[in-house]
Amino acid sequence: MDDLDEWGTARLLTVAARLVEQDCNARLAEWDLTYSGLLLLTALLPGPVTQRDLGAALLLEDQAMSRAIDRLERAGLVTRTVSREDARSRRIRLTDAGFDLVNRLMDHHIANEQRLVSGLSERDRTQLAAILRRWGQALEGET
């Protein structure tokens, strides 16, 4: 990589996020799953939600959300049904297979997240998480 001291904060964060996602994707490949797919499945654990609400919660555009759901639906991990409240809306829910897969992967995923930050001290991890939460909240307030 280039001289990191010359990079702006947004570029550093973007590269770090991409590296984390690439690592997670590689580790989830044996289950034919991506990191965004795992996030989507995890978001469905509390119960069915509309496709629009799911996209908003995961900060995904409609087209990207639709593609992700298509892939998970083909794999038999989610179902998409017409909403009773609004025939134009689709409700997404985990199948039994999707629920089982998420539960099997949670320990694996948590261990991988811990591995990803293992090069940081406990204090650095705590500070980084706090800073990212505050920054995310500040950015949400701008939109």
Residue 140 lies in a domain: no
Q: What is the mean pLDDT of residues 36-61?
A: 91
As for how many domains the chain has, the answer is 1
Note whether residue 13 is domain-resident. Answer: yes
The answer to whether position 30 is within a domain reads: yes
Domain membership flag for residue 129: no
Within-domain flag for 48:
yes
Q: Which CATH number does the domain housing residue 80 bear?
A: 1.10.10.10
Q: Sorting pLDDT into bands at 50, 70 and 90, what band is 16?
A: very high
- Please give the structure tokens belonging to residue 42: 């995890």
pLDDT value at 139 more than 90: no
Is residue 135 situated within a structural domain? no
Report if residue 70 sits inside a domain: yes
Tokens of 56: 């908003």
Pick the more confident residue, 51 or 44. 44
Range of the domain at 44: 4-114
Residue 143's pLDDT is 59
Across 98-117, b (16+ Cβ under 10 Å) vs e yields: bbebbeebeeebeebeeeee
- Specify if 132 maps to a domain: no
- Average pLDDT (109-136) is 93
Q: Give 104's pLDDT tier (boundaries 50, 70, 90).
A: very high
Contacts of 36 (CB under 8 A, 6+ apart): 21, 58, 60, 68
Distance, CA of 123 to CA of 2 (rounded, Å): 27
